[in-house]
Amino acid sequence: MADQTDIAKHDVIIVGAGPAALSAAIYTTREDIDTLLFERAVPGGLAAVTDWVDNYPGFPEGVAGLELATNLQKQAERFGAIVEFGEVTAIRDEGHWKRLETTSGAYLARAVLIATGSDYKKIGVPGEAEYYARGVHYCATCDGAFYRDKRLVVVGGGNSAVQETMFLTRFASHIDMLVRSTIKASEVLQDELQKYVDSGKVTVHLQTATEEIVGEDGKVTKVIGKQSDKRVEFPTDGVFVFVGLKPNSEFLAGSGVELDHMHLVKSDENLKTIVDGVFVAGDIRSGATMQIASAAGEGATAALKIREYLEGHAHPVQN
C-alpha cells in the first residue's frame, strides 16, 4: 500500500460537479460530512451549457441552464462543499481509504462518488476536427452569436439537437437539421420545433447521414451528406453537432469499477459499484435516464447511501 501520510483526507470526494454531484454535496455537507468535489470543466456540467431547461421541477416557466447550474453550486457551497478545479486521473481502493490521483496531487477519501456525467460526442467525419471552433461547434450557447444572419447546419435528432436548433434560430437566417434516421426528441420539443419548420426558419432532413464537412480559405462552406444512398450538399456557414453523449469513464481504468458495454458505470440498487465505498450517480451510471431531474435525485440518493456507509465504516483506531 502506498504511503498515506501527509495526503489530504476527506470523508467523501465527489468526482464531477454536475447536477448529480452538487445534489449529493448538498446532502452530505448539510450532515457535516466533509465533502470535496473535483471538476475539470464547468460546475453544472452539460446543464450549464444548455440554453433553457423546461423540465426541471419547480420552474413553471423553465430556467436558463447556466442559472440552474450556478444556483446548484451556490447551494452546495452554502453548506460547506468545496469545488476544486482539476481532473481525477485514477482511483485505487486501499481498504479504509480510497486513493484518488488528480492533477493537483493525491487525495484520500473514505468514500467516493463517481458523478462525471458525459460530454457531447463527435460525429467522426472528415473536416470535423480541422474546422473545430472555426465553423464546427458543440456549444450553441457559447458560439451561436457568431452566426447572426448566417446559414447553419445542426447535426443530430435528439433532445439536445432540437433544443439547441431552436436556440440558434435567434441568430441564424436558416438552419438545416441533418437527422441520421428519425427525430428522437420528446413530443413536446418536436411540437415546438414544428413552429420553426412551418415558418421556414428550419428545414429537417430525415434519413440524412453527415459524411463530410468541407471548407475553403479556412471557413466552412458546406456539409456533404447521404440521403438514401444519394449524395446531398448543404451550403452553410457553420455546423453545430449534437449527436449524443460520451460517458466520462476513461479515468476508471484499473480502479476495479465495472463498466457496461457502453462504458457506463454499473451499480446495484443502492448506487454502489463493485468497489467497496465507491458509489455512482447521474449520467455516468448504467441505467440512468440522462435527465437533470433524475441526476439530482440520484445524487441525493447516493449521498444518503454514502452516509449509511460511513456510519458503518468508522475511522480505524489510531494507536
Partner 1 sequence: MIKNVTIFTTTTCAYCLMVKKYLGAKGLTYDEINLDENPERQQEVLAISGSLTVPVTVITKDDDSNEVVVGYNLAKLAPAVA
User: Which of 21, 25, 49, 153 is in the footprint of partner 1 by CB under 8 A?
Assistant: 49
Q: Does 134 bind partner 1 (CB under 8 A)?
A: yes
Q: Does 4 bind partner 1 (CB under 8 A)?
A: no
User: Which of 74, 95, 104, 146 is in the footprint of partner 1 by CB under 8 A?
Assistant: 146
Residue bearing cell 466533509: 34
Which grid cell sits at 72? 446548484
Site map for partner 1, 114-133, x if CB under 8 A? -------------------x
Q: How far is the CB of 2 from partner 1 (least distance, A)?
A: 26
Q: Does 75 bind partner 1 (CB under 8 A)?
A: no
Q: How far is the CB of 319 from partner 1 (least distance, A)?
A: 41
Which grid cell sits at 205? 432532413
**Residues 312, 301: Cα–Cα separation, whole Å:** 17
Restricting to residues 182-241, which ones interact with partner 1 according to CB under 8 A? 238
Closest to partner 1 by CB, 2 or 133: 133
User: Which of 37, 48, 125, 168 is in the footprint of partner 1 by CB under 8 A?
Assistant: 48
User: Which of 141, 186, 291, 294 is in the footprint of partner 1 by CB under 8 A?
Assistant: 141
Q: Answer for the pair 88, 100: CB distance below 8 angstroms, yes or no.
A: yes
Q: Does 148 bind partner 1 (CB under 8 A)?
A: yes
Q: How far is the CB of 118 from partner 1 (least distance, A)?
A: 16
Q: How far is the CB of 72 from partner 1 (least distance, A)?
A: 12
User: Which of 90, 108, 139, 290 is in the footprint of partner 1 by CB under 8 A?
Assistant: 139
Q: What is the DSSP string of the chain?
A: ----TTSEEEEEEEE--SHHHHHHHHHHHHTT--EEEEESS-TTGGGGG-SEESSSTT-TT-EEHHHHHHHHHHHHHHTT-EEEES-EEEEEEETTEEEEEETTEEEEEEEEEE---EEEPP---TTTTTTBTTTEES-HHHHGGGGTT-EEEEE--SHHHHHHHHHHTTT-SEEEEE-SSS--S-HHHHHHHHHHHHTTSEEEETTEEEEEEEEETTEEEEEEEEETTEEEEEE-SEEEE---EEE--GGGTTS---B-TTSPBP--TTSB-SSTTEEE-STTBTT----HHHHHHHHHHHHHHHHHHHHHSPPPPP-
Strand pairing report for 63-64 and 52-53? antiparallel
Q: Does 143 bind partner 1 (CB under 8 A)?
A: yes
Q: Does 101 bind partner 1 (CB under 8 A)?
A: no
User: Which of 16, 18, 44, 282 is in the footprint of partner 1 by CB under 8 A?
Assistant: 44
User: Which of 4, 7, 8, 41 is in the footprint of partner 1 by CB under 8 A?
Assistant: 41
Interacting span for partner 1 (CB under 8 A) from 37-45, 54-62, 191-199, 264-272: 37-45
Interacting span for partner 1 (CB under 8 A) from 53-61, 135-143, 201-209, 284-292: 135-143
Q: Which parts of this chain interact with partner 1 (CB under 8 A)?
A: 41-44, 48-49, 51, 64-66, 69-70, 85, 133-135, 137, 139, 141-146, 148, 238
